Structure 1
Amino acid sequence: MDVKGQAAIVTGAASGLGRATATALAAAGAKVTLLDRDAETLDAVAKEIGGLAAPCDVTSADSVKEAIAKGRDAHGAARICVNCAGVVHGGRIVGREGPMDLDAFSRVVQINLIGTFNVMSQAAADMLTLEEQDEGERGVIINTTSIAAFEGQFGQSAYSASKGGVASLTLPAAREFAPKGVRVMCIAPGIFETPMFNGLPQETLDALLAKTLFPKRLGKPEEYAKLVLSICANTMLNGETIRLDGAIRLEPR
């Protein structure tokens, strides 16, 4: 799919991977609707790239419905949907004070997994009604999992479970939407320069980077965005999760 002139939705667009993706899509000529809870920052980013800010809570069906409708009214139904919204929570399943707080576990699953499903399903409902383009394609959905979905470390149970769910959505969704020409892909980033990792102690980051084979650095959000553009352009990519991680493999701790 040539993204130029196409309507696109990006969640988590106020910062990190989402912001870089929204910026790259806009630079390539897409009409981008930016979704995030941080309305003030979202508005500033939208103005910067010439996109449309649609503040929303991805865990709310009504909030997402309103945001997608706002984008549809301005740009038409989106053919591109990229889900980057996510949070992390560290902690043992059973710690010194007992079992992990269930609300904390639920919040991570609600945002990372249910939020992704919420936006994906509502965006897909629009895509399935669009006219076919080259090779019968109607749209592409790109979700964001994590290498923690496959190699979750000690203390990452909530995050790993939520991201494992996102990865597992890829193939059944791709199979369901394939007859109507909508592709579903998933990206599993490693250690990236995002607010999620910027808050880690330097010694923790150094230990993670030591496990990265090449390049030995944090990934750049712009590199994630480049992969998004490549997935959009390559119609053969469907139903798969791509690791973007410098060949890092996480150990138990």
Structure 2
Amino acid sequence: MNISQQAAIVAGGASGLGAATARAMAAAGAKVAIFDRNAEAGQAIAQQIGGTFCQTDVTDPASVAQAIIDAAAAHGPARIVVNCAGIAPPAKVVNRDGDALPLADFMATVNVNLAGSFNVMAQAAAAMQRLDPLGPQNEERGVIINTASVAAYDGQIGQAAYAASKGGIAAMTLPVAREMARFGIRVMTIAPGLFLTPLMESLPADAQESLGRQVPFPPRLGDPADYAKLVLSIVDNIMLNGEVIRLDGAIRMAPK
């Protein structure tokens, strides 16, 4: 798909991977709507890139439905959707005092990361499947890109909820891609490794450098721009469908 002049949605676009993706797509000519709970940061980025901000709770079906309507009113129906919204609170299944992790805490992560991604994907796909194909030689109607994590495969101690949520995103990629194939909608997932997101930026510089050296090559933390470049490649290449791509510099995470 030629990204120029296409309407795009980036959920979680107010920071980190999502913000980099919003900037890269806008630079490539897309009309970008940012979905995020953080109104101040989301509006600032939307203004920078000439896009639209829709304050959105990805776990709330009504909030997502309204955001999709508002984004379409501003830019036309979206043919590109990227899900980057997520949280990663560390928590062991059993803490030092021998107490079990409250189910509500586990579900909070699953609801934002997995259910939130599904909510945006499902509602966006429902609108996307009604669009006309891009052209007589191209039956494609759109592309949806979700964000998993290497934790889906190499989850560390304290990441049970996060790994479960990201594993669910990876697992639903193929069945949803198969279902959406009849509409000409592609579904892909990116599984980033150690990236310089706001969580990493909160760590001391020496801690960031130490983590970066764990990556075989390149021996550094991933730049959100690296993620955005892969998004653009996926949008461009129609044969990329139903796959999870690890974007991790060949790292395999240790137990802790």
CA distance in 2, matches of 1:126, 1:197: 35
Structure 1: runs of 5+ lacking an equivalent: none
Report deviation, 1:41: 1.1
Q: Deviations over 1:160-210 (max 9, x none)?
A: 000000111100110000011000000000111111222346665455333
The equivalent residue for 1:38 is: 38
Of 176, 192, 196, the match for 1:173: 176
Code of the residue aligned with 1:151 in structure 2: it is D
CA distance in 2, matches of 1:197, 1:120: 27
Moved over 6 A (4+): none
Moved more, 197-206 or 47-56: 197-206
Structure 2: runs of 5+ lacking an equivalent: none
Asked if structure 1 preserves the Cα contact closer than 8 Å seen for 2:190 and 2:245, the reply is yes
Asked if structure 1 preserves the Cα contact closer than 8 Å seen for 2:7 and 2:77, the reply is yes
Matches within 5 A, 1:22-33: 22-33=22-33
Code of the residue aligned with 1:85 in structure 2: it is A
CA distance in 1, matches of 2:207, 2:108: 24
Q: Deviations over 1:40-79 (max 9, x none)?
A: 1111110000000001100000000111100011111100
The equivalent residue for 1:5 is: 5
CA distance in 1, matches of 2:225, 2:128: 26
Code of the residue aligned with 1:213 in structure 2: it is P
Matches within 5 A, 1:197-216: 197-200=200-203, 205-216=208-219
CA distance in 1, matches of 2:90, 2:205: 17
Give secondary structure in 1 for the equivalent of 2:44. Answer: helix
Matches within 5 A, 1:37-116: 37-97=37-97, 98-116=99-117
CA distance in 2, matches of 1:211, 1:221: 18
Moved more, 183-192 or 93-102: 93-102
- Counting aligned pairs with the same residue, the percent is 56
The equivalent residue for 1:17 is: 17
Moved more, 197-206 or 113-122: 197-206
Q: Deviations over 1:102-123 (max 9, x none)?
A: 2221111010000000000000
Report deviation, 1:135: 2.5
The equivalent residue for 2:228 is: 225
Code of the residue aligned with 2:66 in structure 1: it is E
Q: TM-score, normalised on structure 1?
A: 0.97
Question: Against the structure 1 CA distance between its residues 153 and 200, is the aligned structure 2 distance closer, same or farther, given a 3 Å change threshold?
Answer: farther
Question: Against the structure 1 CA distance between its residues 207 and 91, is the aligned structure 2 distance closer, same or farther, given a 3 Å change threshold?
Answer: farther
Question: Against the structure 1 CA distance between its residues 156 and 203, is the aligned structure 2 distance closer, same or farther, given a 3 Å change threshold?
Answer: farther
CA distance in 2, matches of 1:208, 1:138: 40
Question: Against the structure 1 CA distance between its residues 99 and 204, is the aligned structure 2 distance closer, same or farther, given a 3 Å change threshold?
Answer: farther
**1:239 and 2:242 correspond:** yes
Code of the residue aligned with 1:226 in structure 2: it is K
Matched residue count: 253
The equivalent residue for 1:139 is: 142
Q: TM-score, normalised on structure 2?
A: 0.96
CA RMSD of aligned residues (A): 1.2
Asked if structure 2 preserves the Cα contact closer than 8 Å seen for 1:89 and 1:105, the reply is no
Asked if structure 1 preserves the Cα contact closer than 8 Å seen for 2:211 and 2:221, the reply is no
**1:189 and 2:192 correspond:** yes
